[in-house]
Amino acid sequence: MQRWEQALAERHARGLYRQPRALEQRQGVNARLEGRDCLVFCSNDYLGLADHPEVAAALARAATTQGTGSGAAHLISGHHPEHDALERELAEAVGRPRALLFSTGYMANMGVINALTEPGDVIFEDALNHASLLDGGWLSRGRMQRYAHGDVAALDAAMAEASGPALIVTDAVFSMDGDLAPLAALSELSARRQALLVVDDAHGFGVLGDGAGTVAHFGLSAAEVPVYIGTLGKALGTFGAFVAGSETLIDYLVQRARTYIYTTAPPPALAAATRSALAVARRETWRRAHLAELVARFRTGAERLGLPLMASATPIQPLLVGDAARAMTLGARLLEAGYWVTPIRPPTVPAGTARLRITLCATHTPAQVDGLLEALSRCWDEGE
Domain boundaries, the chain: 23-49+285-382, 67-283
**Model confidence over 56-66: pLDDT tens digits?**
999 999 999 99
Does the annotation list 304 as a binding residue?
Answer: no
Please check if 132 is assigned to a binding site: no
Is 238 labelled as part of a ligand binding site? Answer: no
Would you place residue 26 in the very low, low, confident or very high pLDDT band (cuts 50, 70, 90)?
Answer: confident
Provide the H-helix boundaries in the chain: 2-13, 53-66, 81-93, 105-115, 131-138, 152-161, 183-192, 214-217, 247-256, 258-261, 268-283, 286-305, 324-336, 366-382
The architecture of the domain spanning 67-283 is 3-Layer(aba) Sandwich (3.40)
Ligand-binding annotation for 175, yes or no, is yes
pLDDT digit string (tens) for 139-161?
Answer: 999 999 999 999 999 999 999 99
Contact in structure between 363 and 27 (CB atoms under 8 Å): no
pLDDT in tens, 68-105: 999 999 999 999 999 999 999 999 999 999 999 999 99
**Closest among 304, 356, 298 to 330, alpha carbons compared:** 356
Give the pLDDT of residue 382: 77
3-state secondary structure of 274: helix
Domains 23-49+285-382 and 67-283 share a fold: no
pLDDT at 344 over 70: yes
- 203 is known to lie in a ligand binding site: yes
Residue 348 marked in a binding site:
yes
**Would you call 292 exposed, middle or buried from its count of C-beta atoms within 10 A (0-12, 13-18, 19+)?**
middle
Domain 23-49+285-382, second-level architecture: Alpha-Beta Complex (3.90)
